[in-house]
Structure 1
Amino acid sequence: MSRNDQTYIHATGPHFTSPQRRRAPSRHNEQFEILGHSQCEKVLLARLQRLDDVPAKRAPPVGELVVPHESDVDMGVPCTGNDHDHEMMEGVPIPDAASDPSPRKRIVPDEEAIRLYDRWKDLLPKLIHPLRKYRQAIFRTPIAPEPPDAHQCQNASCGTGAASIICLFWDHFESRKIAYCTCTTLPEHLMSQGLFPTSPTQPRMAVSIALLEFYFALFERSGDAVTALAGALRNFYARHGWHMLDAKGQPIRDPFRRGLGYAIQWYDALSTKVGCHLEDIIDHTRGLVRDDVRPLHQVGTNPYEECASLLQRRCPACFAGTTFGRSEHEGYDIQLSVDGNFSQRHLRSAGDSPWFYQPEYFISKAQVDAVGVHISSQRKKPPNRSYIPKVPDEAVDSCEHGHDAADEHKTKTNKDIFDDTGVMALVCRHDIPIFLANIDTPGEQQKYVLALISTLFQYLPSRALIRILYDVACVVERSIALYKLLPENISSRISWSTSAMHAYGHEWSCQLVYNPRMSPGLGLTDGEGTEWFWSRSRKLIPITRTSARARRIWLLDRQAGTISNELRDDLGDFLKRRLTR
């Protein structure tokens, strides 16, 4: 067909198309065999079969240092300028952590890890006395560079033993022959020499207690940094001529991280036990002194009321008084604020470890869940008809819809990604944390606030009156009054106010009742102490998000204790700054 015979649309002119060129048939379906491919495949399959026939080696226990044969790995002594002049150190060598493939990450603790943690828990009570004795010996005394004298047992029939331990100090590491007897365990004898073991049963490495104490002083300012410390020690040792080598003479990439991690974790648990033991002794002594100064006819009774010693230690300015029952115009007895933070989350994929620490500030999940069950059961009952609102319900409803904290069903985090979604804190008017609660629901539910308040009242005298500042205080107080979420002996001793930063977002009728700047007796209290606490602990957000679940609670609880102690010691300057504004 010629171009003139092709069809076209009228008024647009002729439209021409080029004829299709005939092409050769496609060769995509043809198969080619590469020379030698089948032979290579047979060789690889034979190698794979030989690997399958070799029995798999049992993985080492979690936390135990892998100890290969002495011919596999060696440790170098300080370099003398010639890499060929390294001498072998006596002692048990450390394997190359980088040579083994990374095991699959464990999400939940297995039985082997639980048994290891149980052995640590059984060992810690035996180390309390050696640690106290060692601390007393080095108090205000420079730490001797040389090791103490060898252990000498008074029992002649006691058996003796010796172990080669790799000891880590701040400026060098060395292998020591540690002699001990069967009267005391090897970890106890290491503690008497100022060394903390990295294993509860058969340690092959120990860390200087002075180095651990320095790390915790650094932890108070920077947060958890075990990996950084392990890498820094390795580089510091290498720069000063102390190298950790394997059997081939190559530097080991990461020889200290696992051992340091366990030493730091369990030394802190031991220090906490020692601190609790001393506090119990002090409380017992205070009780004896109090009974001694009472008149004879009042022995066995309490002539005055006071808060529990736990609260007095955390903030003596708030809880060390003995006069209770102040009126509203006098500011009540105690002023506190409460708020939640959803930045302190924990990834579900980070997994968990066995629980090794009893929190001092976090209340238990059982307490929070019990309050939640009580709230659910109370809300199924008819509302309290005798309730007289302080603010019109329309205003409170508007405040509830205008604040995310009042919406319990609002999802603030993705529960499919995060198993712990935040933290709620109860702080006093001096910004000192008193109690914490772990949030594991998508929204900020009222059970966390009420659980913290219920826990607080367990440590208060029966006549103490408190003022609580919360972002949505109007909503919480109405819920308590309508459904009797708290016992009468607690709810009648609480007065509510909104925090200063959120007060002006409420309805005007609500501000007239709950705004702290319009409430008598509050003075300079603004209820924003929780924001200062979140600011001081924000450095832990990236660390705790990927830590084990139990380790996250440990880190946050220890950081809360550090902040509390620092603010308590700074109470004088705090009051001075507030009064000079």
Structure 2
Amino acid sequence: MRKRTLARVCRRNSYLAHTHHVQNNPMLVWMDECDSFIQEFLWLEAPDCVLWDSMLPQCPDCEREAGSYRCPQCFDMRLFCQTCTMNRHVDQPFHTVEVWNSQFFERCSLRSLNLHIQLGHPIGESCINPHRTHKDGFTVITSHSIIVVNLDFCGCSSVSQPTQLLRARLFPATTIEPQTAATFEVLKLFQLLTFGSKVSGFEFYQCLSRLTDNLGDPPTDRYNVFMRIVRQWRHIRAMKRFGREHDPSGVGGTREGECAVLCPACPHPGKNLPTNYSSLPASQAWIYSLFLAIDANFRLKRLSASNDIRDPGLNQGFAYFVEEKKYKEFLAVTTDLVTTEPSTCSNYDAVKLANIRGGNGVSASGVGTIECAHHDMKRPVSVGDLQLGEKYANMDYLYFSSIRNHSPATCVVSYDIVCQWTRKLGARAMAYPNGVVDPNFHQTGITYLIPKFHIYAHCDECQYKYSFNFTPHVGRTDGESPERSWAAMNPVSSSTKEMGPGSRRDTLDDHFGDYNWCKVISMYLLLLRKAQEAIAMQAEHVTAFNEFSSSLLGDATTAFSKQIWAYESGQSTQNPYELKLAAESQAKVRLQLAEEDSTAISQDDSLVIHKTVSQNVLISQGLELQDQQARLALDAKTLRGHITEHQQSQLVERRNRLQRRIAAWCRVQELYMPAVLPLRARAENTREGNVNAEHIKLFLPSEVIASIRLDNQLARLKWRLRYSQVFDHLAELRRHLLILSTMYQSKDNLSRGQKSNTRSVALIKNIQGRVNYVCQKYRSCRSALVALSGPLEETGWESLVQPLLDADVRSLKEGDDMGNSEGRRQLSWIWSSQRTSEAELTEGMNEALQIEWCKARARAQQWQEECILLREEMTCVIKFHQWQADTWETRAIKATSEGHKAYAWRQRQTRLTLIARCRCSWKGIEEKIQGGEGAVSAGDSLVECHTRVNI
């Protein structure tokens, strides 16, 4: 009986568990209802009445005839007669209806029901003018099908046929006797789909074709017509958005770059900058710097299809692509002016492949671009085709075109080959034809740098000279913004590479515009996230830098400060970030290690126990014995598994010597600590077999203070010795880590061949073993301090003697285990711990500390600069949106057409909405920026900023 009850309980629990699992999984719940879903789908295949009898119901509208027609695209699925179906679709003429043929619903068009579409009159009203135009078989491309309709153009007025179509929200394929049109709805849908999914026009049209007929009998091909309509639609929308019809000059008066979506956070004179920005001192003018990034993309190539005569572009330099005619004329006359120069840096791809990229059948090997480096947005008239690689002439033209209409007082330009590109940039600028280079162009206010990711492919000199990480007044800019935008643009290359030149430029202009607009509407979130991160990182790195500075001995901080200020102000050419001492040779390191071993052996042999010893000697010798045990244990572990007889004999001899010394020391210990006798006796009784010398318990005061009563003076003596030891161990650990990093550098630079590399690896293992040994000694010392601190009531020492984790044991050059970049890297606390003597600061250690101090200072300073830049960018964004709102308000007031006024007021409201979002999201951010740790204001000079971080 009990077994049956238990079985029922188990089955019930299993059922409840299964039920709970099903109820919490929507897919499992749906699978149980799958049959009912299929039944409902099949129910829709026939009228409700046919399921009960064979009689069709009367038409619910007229109630005279039987209803046999229904429209799947309307919500009302009842059956109507032919006349009522036509009347109900006068305002929905592009639907496709179905008729019941006594067996199933068969598709039919409204045209077959003799429905006519009348243009130029209200819905349902016919034109009685005898000169009206009737078109039987007019093709309309909609968002759900490609249909043929009967279309009547009005003859009552002089309005042209294309105009009548446009007023009916139909975009005509031509202005002369149009036979095809596309609805505004399908054009909007296709444009947004291309932005989001990068679907090609051919794929989209094929989808519409299959929606119309999926039995292999497609409608008349209108693909080429549809793509022509799409191009015109994009162009009209762009002209409308940028107010060209609100300007008396119209489309013909459009200036170059006028139809590009501008970055609201970038400095724009006359739009979002203060009137006195050009007269500000250098300590404040840097916040209005323009950040540019130069790059090329060789995926956006174009095959040799069509030409500019057969396929002209509609955007003639109005947006992002430069004006093609001027561009090609420039390239034609500068071919002989710019020659290939030998590289003085790494053989970088952009230089090496400048004359290789391209190939047969390709008219454009890619595109070059100039972008906003701080906000990842395409700049006006800053994109152009590359004919054969990333040549200087192409990139120069795009660069000068980008800054021609915007000449800021200061500018930061990043380019992956900037070290080669800028060598003769001034000479090339002077040789170029008039009109290409701004007459006011000068390089004194321009800083040229290399993007952070690309810089590691350059030589060491470039990594110090052109690094964003070590350059003041750039904040946390990385210069890699083009790479992020290319990731969004690369999917469209599959459809643009086979387009004609004009179609391709217009299509990419449209995609660049949408990419910029998405950045504009999300700018409030982007700057908010950046500000929140910058505030936290500023406090973190300023605090870390101050702690590191305070740990240095003597006037080291002052000396380092003078060197970095002299370099940044241009008074010195000596780069404080550059490593000047050569890596130590293997022979030198081996000699140092041998001398250390000799010292350790001499200390081991000098450990002699006298008949009469003091407490100081007892504790000191006990600590030395503990160190000998740790070293012996580490060596025994290293030799385990592949030890030779000679090594084994040496190990046994060391154990015997150590065991004799421990025995002598224990006899003296019993005089001062008699309470350890029962502890040692208990340990010997529980011991199984012989115990190696390295595992014998010494019962030092820190080990037994919790279980026996000790002399307070003895415990205090042990505390003082242990507390002094931890800092010696940290100094030794720092020295070994520095040697280890130089050995890795020496191995990479000097070791060649198997023999040399094997020796280097063996030496590195030796040093790593010493690092492990020092770590073990430090942890043992700290454990003793933890045990003694309670009975001795010692407090406040934990902030200086921190737990040593494996992640903390890293050199100056290494980041943490999370793989953080240079700007987010944090020093391990072991390097900011106090130093015990000037002897630790050898020449190599002093240089390493100076470089790391300068890097820590740069990290703190750049996060401070980022906070300043972000606060100013937030102000610029609001000012820019307000300027655009005022511009549209002026256009609305001056407009003579009600349509022009309504559109201008709507655009003004769009900008006001963006302003409201920004102000709501950024509420309280400025106070947090100004009140955080290490906070600085935009008006602080460089020296004042340094003072804020206690340099």
- TM-score band, normalised by shorter chain: 0.5 to 0.7
CA contact (8 A) 1:500 1:526 kept: yes
Q: What are the Cα deviations for residues 497-549 of structure 1, in whole angstroms up to 9, with x where unaligned?
A: 11111112222222222111111111111110100110011111111112223
CA contact (8 A) 1:167 1:176 kept: no
Amino acid in structure 1 at the alignment position of 2:169: G
| Structure 1 residue 237: Cα displacement | 3.4
- Change in 2 beyond 3 A, CA 1:569/1:496: same
The aligned counterpart of 2:461 is 509
The aligned counterpart of 1:421 is 365
Q: Which of 347, 350, 354 is the matching residue for 1:405?
A: 350
- Would you say 1:212 and 2:187 are equivalent positions? yes
CA distance in 1, matches of 2:517, 2:409: 24
TM-score (ref. length: structure 1) = 0.61
| Structure 1 residue 264: Cα displacement | 2.0
Q: Which of 426, 432, 442 is the matching residue for 1:491?
A: 442
CA distance in 1, matches of 2:225, 2:260: 37
CA contact (8 A) 1:224 1:555 kept: no
- Would you say 1:448 and 2:394 are equivalent positions? yes
Amino acid in structure 2 at the alignment position of 1:163: K
Q: What are the Cα deviations for residues 160-187 of structure 1, in whole angstroms up to 9, with x where unaligned?
A: 4333433343346451332323612111
Alignment of 1:168-183 (within 5 A): 168-171=141-144, 173=147, 175-181=149-155, 183=158
The aligned counterpart of 1:221 is 196
CA distance in 2, matches of 1:84, 1:523: 67
TM-score (ref. length: structure 2) = 0.38
- Would you say 1:80 and 2:102 are equivalent positions? no
| Structure 1 residue 484: Cα displacement | 4.6
Q: What are the Cα deviations for residues 86-107 of structure 1, in whole angstroms up to 9, with x where unaligned?
A: 7873899xxxxxxxxxxxxxxx
The aligned counterpart of 1:543 is 495
Instruction: Give me the CA root mean square deviation.
Output: 4.0
- Change in 2 beyond 3 A, CA 1:252/1:406: closer
Alignment of 1:311-350 (within 5 A): 313-319=261-267, 320-322=272-274, 323-324=277-278, 327=282, 330=286, 333-349=289-305
The aligned counterpart of 1:191 is 166
CA distance in 2, matches of 1:314, 1:79: 50
Q: Which of 227, 230, 234 is the matching residue for 1:268?
A: 234
Q: Which of 126, 129, 133 is the matching residue for 1:161?
A: 133
The aligned counterpart of 1:521 is 473
CA contact (8 A) 1:163 1:178 kept: yes
Amino acid in structure 2 at the alignment position of 1:80: V
Between Structure 1 and Structure 2, how many residues are aligned? 405
- Change in 2 beyond 3 A, CA 1:203/1:520: same
Larger of the two Rg values belongs to structure: 2
- Change in 2 beyond 3 A, CA 1:314/1:151: farther
CA distance in 2, matches of 1:259, 1:162: 21
| Structure 1 residue 580: Cα displacement | 3.4
CA distance in 1, matches of 2:170, 2:178: 11
CA distance in 2, matches of 1:282, 1:327: 42
Q: Which stretch of the first structure deviates more once superposed, 358-367 or 75-84?
A: 75-84
Alignment of 1:138-149 (within 5 A): 148=123
Equivalent position SS for 1:412: coil
The aligned counterpart of 2:323 is 364
- Change in 2 beyond 3 A, CA 1:520/1:409: same
Amino acid in structure 1 at the alignment position of 2:99: T
The aligned counterpart of 2:605 is none
CA distance in 2, matches of 1:375, 1:214: 44
Q: What are the Cα deviations for residues 238-266 of structure 1, in whole angstroms up to 9, with x where unaligned?
A: 47xxx9xxxxxx93355443442232222
CA distance in 2, matches of 1:356, 1:484: 29
CA distance in 2, matches of 1:283, 1:500: 45
Equivalent position SS for 2:424: helix
Alignment of 1:115-130 (within 5 A): none
| Structure 1 residue 159: Cα displacement | 5.0
| Structure 1 residue 220: Cα displacement | 1.5
CA distance in 2, matches of 1:257, 1:89: 24
CA distance in 2, matches of 1:310, 1:280: 14
| Structure 1 residue 341: Cα displacement | 0.9
| Structure 1 residue 451: Cα displacement | 1.3
| Structure 1 residue 420: Cα displacement | 0.8
- Would you say 1:434 and 2:379 are equivalent positions? yes
| Structure 1 residue 378: Cα displacement | 5.4
- Would you say 1:200 and 2:175 are equivalent positions? yes
| Structure 1 residue 402: Cα displacement | 1.5
Provide structure 1 residue ranges, at least 5 long, that are not aligned to the other structure: 1-74, 93-129, 135-145, 244-249, 285-307, 381-392
CA contact (8 A) 2:368 2:386 kept: no
The aligned counterpart of 1:465 is 410
CA distance in 1, matches of 2:264, 2:377: 11
CA distance in 2, matches of 1:409, 1:370: 20
Equivalent position SS for 2:174: coil
CA distance in 2, matches of 1:211, 1:488: 48
The aligned counterpart of 1:355 is 312
The aligned counterpart of 2:884 is none
CA distance in 2, matches of 1:456, 1:85: 56
Equivalent position SS for 1:317: coil
| Structure 1 residue 408: Cα displacement | 7.1
**More helix by percentage:** 2
- Change in 2 beyond 3 A, CA 1:91/1:344: farther
Q: What are the Cα deviations for residues 67-123 of structure 1, in whole angstroms up to 9, with x where unaligned?
A: xxxxxxxx997453559997873899xxxxxxxxxxxxxxxxxxxxxxxxxxxxxxx
Amino acid in structure 1 at the alignment position of 2:320: Y
Provide structure 2 residue ranges, at least 5 long, that are not aligned to the other structure: 1-93, 251-255, 431-436, 534-951
Amino acid in structure 2 at the alignment position of 1:466: C
- Change in 2 beyond 3 A, CA 1:481/1:227: closer
CA distance in 2, matches of 1:180, 1:440: 50
The aligned counterpart of 1:89 is 112
| Structure 1 residue 321: Cα displacement | 2.2
Equivalent position SS for 1:454: helix
CA distance in 2, matches of 1:369, 1:170: 40
CA contact (8 A) 1:430 1:529 kept: yes
CA contact (8 A) 1:311 1:434 kept: no
CA contact (8 A) 2:242 2:258 kept: no
- Would you say 1:251 and 2:217 are equivalent positions? yes
CA contact (8 A) 1:194 1:209 kept: yes
- Change in 2 beyond 3 A, CA 1:160/1:457: same
Q: Which stretch of the first structure deviates more once superposed, 570-579 or 554-563?
A: 570-579
CA contact (8 A) 1:337 1:530 kept: yes
CA contact (8 A) 1:378 1:484 kept: no
The aligned counterpart of 2:486 is 534
Equivalent position SS for 2:151: strand
- Change in 2 beyond 3 A, CA 1:356/1:183: farther
Structure 1 segments, 4+ long, off by >6 Å, are 83-88
